[in-house]
Amino acid sequence: MNYKYHILRNGIKLVHSEVNTPVSHFGLMVGTGSRDERPNEIGMAHFIEHMIFKGTTKRKAFHILGMIENSGGELNAFTTKEETCIYASFLSPFYAKTIELFADVAFNSIFPVKEMEKEKMVILDEINSYFDNPSEQIFDDFEAQVFDGHPLASNILGSEETVNSFKKNDILRFMKRNYLLDNVVISSVGNISLKKLVALLERHFEDIDLKGGKQDRAPFDNYKPKNIVEQKGAYLTHLMMGNVAYSRKDPKRIPLLLLNNILGGPALNSRLNLNLREKYGIAYTVESMFNTYSDTGLFAIYLGTDLKNIEKSKKLIKRELKNLRDNKLGTVQFSRAKKQLAGQIAIQYDSRQNEMLSIAKSMLYRPEIKTVETFIKEIESLSVENLLEVANEVFDENKLSTLIFETK
């Protein structure tokens, strides 16, 4: 993959991949999210993500939302613990229109008070929808449990109290503190030359003046395992089990990615799926995940099952974790596991939208993009000893936390 890099005259970084395709993808990612909020700002990054589409100095919300969609494209946005992103997929001839819109909504939004009050109601409904869905709520609550006392514990959506308290000046203060030059990346995968793309960006982003620097983030270093059971009015009992893990810069994240895929990745032949679902039939959904942050990470396992099966499920999960701690993978098994992960990564990048979002995030934290080919080489270079070392660090039973939403 041939990525091209450029820095605009105002200092904003660009990464672009030129591909001959009728549909192109463009995004603007800011390296700020819920972990950058102060206690009275919880939910602010997500609130801003909603509000930038609600009116600018020259457009009303209706015109913003229809501009790309009326041309057959899609406009979207998301907020994570550490990033906020707006992005679009569109027919390639509409690059100029898309870039002009992005410059307008990202840096000329006026945050009308009337629209703010309406959007607060929308977000409160979004928060309540999570409370209606324990299989989603447990993921957020487990992160809050693991990162207790740290900004990473905060819910991205915020709470009714904090969201209702937001004022326009609060938004402007947050953006001034966090929307900094070193935190902004533009990403593009589409049918346009770098020269034409840069010309469009210089035309529409030239008046944007951002201060340099990055915000200071408090590191997380105070993990204490906890086991919590809560009563919920739901049919299924939901379980989360996990441990803190490695940051996005830690070399050990690569063997943990492979272990995670072996244990409970998306393939139907993952160990947890073969054991708990196929062999015993006690869980429809069982999976594991590994999320990386700038200074830490989280490994977790989730399943939903009948209350009577929860203790058996915990024993089966711990048995699989112990097996990975104690036993080396055989040569054939290890080779298949590496090929499977490499294939899944390649398939993910086969979606050009996913590629555009991935390279944007990479540019926030690295001077150059790690290509799929490089990533696959890192996987292929792993040894069974690498996996054993990581398994004994992350899957240590004494370090595991559990959260159970138990049926009443």
How is the chain split into domains, by residue range? 4-205, 227-407
Report which secondary-structure segment, H or E, holds 340: helix 331-350
pLDDT score at 393: 98
Report which secondary-structure segment, H or E, holds 194: helix 194-205
> CA 107, CA 95: separation in Å to the nearest integer?
18
The stretch 29-38 carries a mean pLDDT of: 97
Contact of 28 with 204, CB cutoff 8 Å: no
pLDDT in tens, 59-116: 999 899 889 989 899 999 999 999 999 999 999 999 999 999 999 999 999 999 999 9
pLDDT at 367 over 80: no
The stretch 368-388 carries a mean pLDDT of: 92
3-state secondary structure labels for all residues of 19-86? CCCCEEEEEEEECCCHHHCCHHHCCHHHHHHHHCCCEECCCEHHHHHHHHHCCCCEEEEEECCCCEEE
Contact of 325 with 391, CB cutoff 8 Å: yes
pLDDT score at 407: 86
pLDDT score at 16: 97
**End-to-end CA gap in the chain:** 53
pLDDT at 372 over 90: no
Contact of 64 with 52, CB cutoff 8 Å: no
Token readout for 274 is 């073969």
In one letter, which amino acid is 92?
S
Contact of 15 with 137, CB cutoff 8 Å: no
Report which secondary-structure segment, H or E, holds 108: none
pLDDT in tens, 171-207: 999 999 999 999 999 999 999 999 999 999 999 998 8
pTM, 2 dp: 0.94
Same fold: 4-205 with 227-407: yes
> CA 96, CA 100: separation in Å to the nearest integer?
6
Scan for tokens 């594991």, then name that residue.
288
pLDDT score at 281: 95
CB burial readout 251-264, b (16+ within 10 A) else e: ebbbbbbbbbbbbb
The stretch 23-32 carries a mean pLDDT of: 97
Contact of 243 with 395, CB cutoff 8 Å: yes
pLDDT score at 130: 87
Residues 6+ apart with CB under 8 A from 388: 325, 328
DSSP 60: B
DSSP 55: B
CATH of domain 227-407: 3.30.830.10
pLDDT in tens, 318-345: 999 999 999 999 999 999 999 999 999 9
> CA 130, CA 138: separation in Å to the nearest integer?
9
Q: How confident is the model at residue 248 (pLDDT cuts 50, 70, 90)?
A: very high
pLDDT score at 272: 96
SS3 for 327?
coil
Q: What is the overall mean pLDDT for the chain?
A: 95
pLDDT in tens, 40-60: 999 999 999 999 999 999 999
Helices and strands (H, E) in the chain, number of each type: 15, 11
4-205 CATH choice from 3.30.830.10, 3.40.50.10420, 3.40.30.10, 3.40.190.10: 3.30.830.10
